[in-house]
Amino acid sequence: MLQDQPPATSRALSTVNLPSVNHKPMFDSYEQSVLEAADEFGYLTQRDAKRIIREHNASVLDAWLDLGDGATDAQKLLFWLGY
């Protein structure tokens, strides 16, 4: 009977010491990353909008009451969150 073991490549990679590299952040700001996640019209999916609202410890219900369907508009949502 075969036992569950990680593939040999994952064992080998875990022992490799990679040089540290100074990485530039993918985005210059949080706002830019949110806008990049929006579609070509500037709208987030409801799922993404809700995740962003929750990440800011804000109420999804309050956001939808205040913004209506605009809660998925990336710029309006960022403004509502205080950016």
Number of structural domains the chain divides into: 1
In a domain, 58, yes or no: yes
pLDDT at 25: 54
> Would residue 45 count as lying in a domain?
yes
Percent of the residues in the chain that have a pLDDT greater than 90, as a whole number = 64
pLDDT per residue over 10-43, tens digit each?
444 444 454 454 545 566 899 999 999 999 999 9
- For residue 2, being part of any structural domain is answered with no
**Domain extent for 32:** 28-83
pLDDT for 27 = 61
Stated pTM of the model = 0.67
pLDDT at 64: 96
pLDDT at residue 11 in the model: 44
Per the prediction, the chain carries an average pLDDT of: 81
The Cα–Cα gap between 26 and 17 comes to 24
Q: Is there a domain that residue 74 lies in?
A: yes
The Cα–Cα gap between 52 and 80 comes to: 12
Q: How far apart are CA 10 and CA 37, in angstroms?
A: 31
